[in-house]
Amino acid sequence: ERGARAGTMLHKIFEDLDFTAAPEKRRELVAATLVDFGYAADWLDVIDQMVATVLNSELEPGLRLVNLSRRACLSELEFFCPIGLLEAPALNAFFAGLPTRLRPAELDFRPVSGQLRGFIDLVFCHDGRYYIVDWKSNHLGDSPADYGRPALEAAMAGHHYTLQYYLYSLALDRYLNYRVPDYCYERHFGGV
Question: Active-site positions?
Answer: 134
Per-residue DSSP letter, 148: S
Of 160, 163, 121, 159, nearest in space to 140 by CA: 159
Q: How far apart are CA 73 and CA 81, in angstroms?
A: 22
Paired with 79 in beta bridges are: 118
Q: How far apart are CA 67 and CA 71, in angstroms?
A: 11
Beta strands at 63-64 and 58-60: parallel, antiparallel or unpaired: antiparallel
Q: How far apart are CA 183 and CA 144, in angstroms?
A: 40
- Coil, strand or helix: which one is 64? strand
